[in-house]
Amino acid sequence: RSTWRSAWILPIAVMLPALAFRPFQGLFTSLSTFSTDMHYNGSVHVLLGHTLGSFPLASTLCAALLLCWLGCVLGMTRRPIEAGALVMSGLLLLAPTIHFWYLTWVIPFLCFYPLRPMLIWCATIALLFQTQGTMLQTGEWKQYPWLVLLEYLPVYGALIYVAFTKRFVPAPVADDAPRQTL
């Protein structure tokens, strides 16, 4: 990021692995299907899909929102760990499907930037286990909308709070212990 002279490396780093999957074109079809036709425990994507009556349109809008969020993050910070925490949080909040292990993508960043909404989500996502419990007991995959609401209300409440108090990104965690010399 420090110079535009090395910016050409990023497209190559993205394209080379993609070319390796060229013989397996179904991979990209499955990713498209996953993002447009399947949804479970998402928040913004599911709300947009039901409101608009089109989950493919919701996927397109969420992708556009994510790109806008990336631009906002680039304007807010130049610190890579902070940017990673914010970008990953946005990606997860806009994703069509969220399983509990998806939050492991943001947890390492929370060690350095403890974003309150994400910390709350790490706790409330435990409500999701009711669906897995029902699946194990009855064999039926059943999502409980009221539990999803209980999962996300505290998260979005915290997002609104930090947005209005302008405390969106907390200060980095620092070691405040006094230094001892030997």
Tens of pLDDT, residues 36-79: 777 788 899 999 999 999 998 999 999 999 999 999 998 888 88
Question: Cα–Cα distance between 164 and 3 in angstroms, integer?
Answer: 35
Q: What integer pLDDT is reported at residue 41 of this predicted model?
A: 87
What is the C-alpha end-to-end distance of the chain, expressed in Å? 39
Instruction: Kindly report the pTM of this predicted structure.
Output: 0.76
Per-residue pLDDT reduced to its tens digit, 119-138: 999 999 999 888 888 888 99
**Residue 80 predicted with pLDDT over 90:** no
CB of 97 within 8 A of CB of 41? yes
Select from 39, 30, 86 the least CA-distant residue to 58: 39
Question: Cα–Cα distance between 81 and 49 in angstroms, integer?
Answer: 32
Question: Cα–Cα distance between 22 and 18 in angstroms, integer?
Answer: 7
